[in-house]
Every structure is written in structure tokens, then in C-alpha cells.
Amino acid sequence: MSTDGNKKIQRALISVFDKTGLEPIVKTLHEQGVEILSTGGTREFVEAMGIPVTKVEDLTAYPSILGGRVKTLHPKVFGGILARTANASDLAELEQYQIPTVNLVIVDLYPFEKTVASTQDKQAIIEKIDIGGISLIRAAAKNHNDVLIVPCVEWYEKLHALLTSQNGETTLGQRRLFAAKAFEVSSHYDTAIFNWFNTEEQIPALKMSETTAKTLRYGENPHQKGYYFGDFERAFEQLNGKEVSYNNLLDIDAAVNLIADFRETAFAILKHNNACGMAEDAVLKNAYLKALAGDPVSAFGGVLITNRTIDLATAEEMNKLFFEVIIAPAYDAEALELLKSKTNRIILLNKGVTLSVNTVRTALNGFLVQERDTLTETADMLKTVTDTAPTQSQTADLLFAVKLVKHTKSNAIILVKDGQLVGIGTGHTSRIDALKHAIAKAAEAGLSVEGAVMASDAFFPFNDCVQIAHEAGVKAVIQPGGSVRDKDSVDYCNQNGLAMVMTGVRHFKH
């Protein structure tokens, strides 16, 4: 290890909120002859260990004021941190004003994000906006040529390892690494504060920060690098299986968003972010079998999800299929044991993932941001536009279908019968092709479209789709409406005894 740029720690300023793991650091610093400066609760912590500590108040000749809001904000503190030891003018000013240099700064900020998560009290949240700590972090990181900054409790252990292995000496490379972490901590902290403030009259700015990161095996394809930024373990407990991949995560996201719209017992099978099978049934096993029947070929290697506890009877049927992932809110013990029989099968316990308010995607040299499509149609939102009104059972199927079409790649057509997805057309450039594909998929699966209902993610510009659907056996249609030629489709339905309802809500998904 090169000694060029090495610095010996002689004086440390410690001001932390979380003192977990701090004790061995303080002991080591004391053993290495390092003078410790501190204030408030941290000073009391060090004193309780029987280790000498200099009060910051004694250095500055000012007490902590404004209820603790001002403690370290003083030239005698920041001068000692920001002074460049290779600059003769800086050293002369330190001597003139009797300011001691500081070689190590340890800070752990007030827990702003945890406070936001635990209370609606605005004043309590504002009081957890750290001022002195964030200033210390930035100052020490800026002057990393002379100062080592430890900006969070998670890096206490790294500091202790350096102290013990290098006898209190640090290299420029190490200080630069810690400085990078410091600016990551400070930028994340400021982002959280901005996003909390920016909720009413919003300033149009995109501020995102996620400190929990995972390197994936690869991205969408093996030649692409991939990363996941987010706390996956907070949302799911993985009970079995191999490491979750980039493509798994996309399918899991699609599955969780889909199932969130369903309240009755439901089961869905997804492939490439779209449902290839889905059904509702009071008996979970039946819901699964109906979902599987919708497209048993595409279900191979798919992602399965339900909103109910998986029992043994359902697991026995599921175990006959090769699938990548299963997601459920709970598993009966015998069911879980059976599903674990496949070593690589990913079994996830859904702990109640909180879905993002907005969706973000890259576009050209920037980003597209929009509110997530959280609108779910209810019976009172349906406007019957035909002479024939849908029956009660048809209305239930129409609502099931429109929920599903919302989560299907545009152009999208969904065919549903008796709470079961019987045909799907997804991602087509033509709505007619999407419909024809849905009818063909139903035929391939041996499912009858006679008496089914149809949902479209957008309006019909012509009456060709309702005509094709009618000829296939569809009896009721749900669509947003809004075409200048809506009347053509309505007239066709009236002439042929079909029911049509409009929602006024389009659900494009690109």
C-alpha cells in the first residue's frame, strides 16, 4: 500500500444519532491517543464509557442553543475540518484564531425518512431535518484530502476495520471512498426532504434516490448488465428457489399490480408481463385450474400469483406445472413443503408491497414520469349505451375483464366468461388483430366464446370489432368510448341484441 497521501488521525469529532456499534470505535480511538470532540447525547455516551471527551461548547465558547438546533455550526468547528494542511495561509489562520484541526468526523443524521414513515406531525418531521450533521458531512467530504468522513451508522464497521488494521492511518484513496459515500448519504437525505415538501403545489422536478441496490446475474439478456435498486426483502420473503432475475422482477411487478385490483379469490398466470390465464372462484384450486385452462401452453415457465393462502389441494395441482415463480400472501405448511420440492422454484411471500405512486421510464435523453394507473372501474361507473343492458352475471364478467385489460399490453382485447379469462389479444398494432388473436387463443385452449364478454383498452373507431366478436359468440362489451363513430358500434349492438357499456376511461399500456 502506497503511503503517499496517508494521514494519521489525531483528533475526531463525533456527532451521531444512532450509537449502535460506536463503542468499539471510541475505545480504539482512545487507545490510539486520538482526542475526541463531541456534544449532546454523543458526548454523554463517550463520558459514560469513562473516556475523556472535549465538549464542542468548550471549543467554541458557545453553548448549544435554540433547543439543540445550533450546536456545531461555528468557525472553530468548521475551520478545523475545512482547513487545507498543505496551504500555509490556512494554517496561519488556524493559529491566529486558535482552531484545532480535525482529521476524522463521524456523523449519523437524524432519521428523517423513518420519522416521515411513522408520523403525520409536520413539526416533528421538520425537527428531524438535520442541519449541523449534514453540514459536517459535506465539509469533511469536501476536504477529504485531510479528513476522513464517516457519514452513517452502516459504515461504522468499515471505520473500525481501518483503525485496527492501519493503526489510525488512512490513505487518500480510502478517504475519497468515504467521501463518495458521504455525498451519496447527503444527496439521498436531501432528496427525501425535497420529495416530502414537494407534494402540494408541485415543483416539476424528478428527484429519485435509492440506496438499497442488488447486482443481478444479468439484465434482460445475458449480454446486458442488470441492477435492482429497491428493498425487495421489505416487500417479499423468499422461501425457496434461485436468485430472482431481471425478467423475474418485471413479471413479479406486473403480477403484483394486476392482483391488487382483485378482491374476490383470484389466481393469475403471467408470461412476459401479461396474463395468459386468470380466473376468480370461491375455491382457490378451481381458480387455479381455470386460470391454467386459459392457456396451458403459455403457462409453462410462467409467474403465478394469488391473493389467498395456498392450500395443499391447490399446491398439488400447481406442482404438476413447471413455473418460475409463485407469489401468495401465505402458504399452508403442507402446501409449502410440496412446492419446495423443486429446488429452483422461486416461492415468494407477499408481505404487502407498497406500489409506487408514479411510473418512471427512460425516453430519448430524458425520462417520462406519470401517475400510476390506479383507477379501477366499479359498477356505478358503467354507462349502458345499448337497448339491451348487461345481466348481473355479465356485469360481473365485464368488471373482471376491464380490470384485466388495464394490465394488458396495448392494443389489448380480453374475452371473459363466468369469471375466467378465455381469450386474450395483447400488444398488437391493430385492435382487430388483437381480437382475432383472442378468439384464436380461446379455440386453441378448447374454450367456448359463446356467451362471453369482451373488454377493450381503448375505443372502437369502427364497428368491425363488435361484429367479429358477435360472430364469435360474445354477448356483452365494455369499452371507454370516445370515438367520433361510437354510434356505429352501438347501432350494430342494438341490431344484434348485444349489450354495451362505456366507462369513459382509456387504459393504454405501452
pTM of the shown model: 0.84
Cα→Cα distances 95→12, 74, 84, 92, Å: 19, 16, 13, 5
Neighbours of 339 (CB within 10 A): 24
Residue type, 451: G
| 55 sits in which H/E element | strand 54-55
DSSP state of 195: H
Average pLDDT over residues 123-145: 93
pLDDT for 249-268, tens place per residue? 999 999 999 999 999 999 99
Q: What would the pLDDT profile of 74-118 be if each residue is shown by its tens digit? A: 888 889 999 999 999 999 989 998 999 999 999 999 899 899 989
Helix H or strand E segment including 235: helix 232-235
**Integer distance in angstroms from the first to the last C-alpha of the chain?**
53
Confidence of residue 379 (pLDDT cuts 50, 70, 90): very high
- Would the pLDDT of 498 be above 50? yes
The answer to whether residues 6 and 166 touch, using CB atoms and an 8 Å cutoff, is no
Please list the active-site residues: 142, 272
Q: What is the pLDDT of residue 1?
A: 46
pLDDT of residue 59: 84
Q: Residues 427-456: pLDDT tens digits?
A: 999 999 999 999 999 999 999 999 999 999
Cα–Cα distance, 502 to 451 (Å, whole number): 19
- Is residue 354 scored above 60 in pLDDT? yes
At residue 70, does pLDDT exceed 90? Answer: no
Which pLDDT band holds residue 132 (cuts at 50, 70, 90)? confident
Q: Is the dihedral of CA 100, 106, 108, 109 positive or negative?
A: positive
d(C-alpha 480, C-alpha 221), whole Å: 37
Give, in order, the Cα–Cα distances in Å from 249 to each of 99, 302, 348.
54, 12, 12
In the predicted structure, residue 3 carries a pLDDT above the cut 70? no
Helix (H) or strand (E) run with residue 435 in it: helix 431-444
Quick one: CA dihedral 131, 137, 141, 145, positive or negative?
Answer: positive
Report how far residue 404's alpha carbon sits from residue 399's, in angstroms, rounded to the nearest whole number.
9
Set of cell numbers at residue 316: 398439488
For residues 370 and 235, is the Cβ–Cβ distance under 8 A? no
Are the C-beta atoms of residues 267 and 288 closer than 8 Å to each other? yes
